[in-house]
Amino acid sequence: MIFVTGPLYAGKREYIRNALGLSEAAFSARAVWDVQELAPGAELPVLADRLAEKNIVIATELGGGLVPIDRAEREKREAAGRLACLLAERADTVIRVCCGLGQVLKGTLP
């Protein structure tokens, strides 16, 4: 599994689609994105195992900037970060994309 992470609007989907040479249709069939939205209230190890079965998993980083005052928002942010750690652990390749530029943190691109 390839795990791609980075800030909102950083070009994560476009980067990995181009890096792998996938058409939009092929990419949509192989990838799942915005997985951070699945984290709140989920059993994170089970969710990570299920997502790791996909070829490409994309998550937006929520941990940057100011810590939210609202408890529910902090818990959502915490769950998203923990899910990202679990996915990175399970991934063969981890890429962080910022400003459309990818940095391979683990493994190599196929």
Query: What are the pLDDT digits (tens) for 75-89?
Result: 999 999 999 999 999
CATH top-level class for 2-106? alpha beta
CA atoms of 37 and 108, how far apart (whole Å): 27
CA dihedral 69, 74, 76, 77 (to 10 degrees): 110
In what side-by-side order are the strands of the sheet with 56-60? 31-32, 56-60, 2-6, 93-98, 101-106
Q: Among residues of the chain, what percentage have pLDDT more than 90?
A: 92
What mean pLDDT comes out for the span 24-49?
97
Range 38-52 average pLDDT: 97
Q: What is the pLDDT of residues 85-109, one digit of tens each?
A: 999 999 999 999 999 999 999 999 8
Mean pLDDT, rounded, for 65-72: 90
How far apart (Å, rounded) are the C-alpha atoms in residues 42 and 26? 28
Q: Indicate whether 66 pLDDT > 90.
A: no
pLDDT of residue 81: 96
* Rounded average pLDDT over 40-63: 96
Please check whether residue 97 is in contact with residue 6, taking contact to mean a CB–CB distance below 8 angstroms.
yes
Helices assigned H by DSSP within the chain: 12-20, 24-30, 44-51, 71-90
Residue range 17-29: mean pLDDT, rounded: 96
Token representation of residue 108: 């190599």
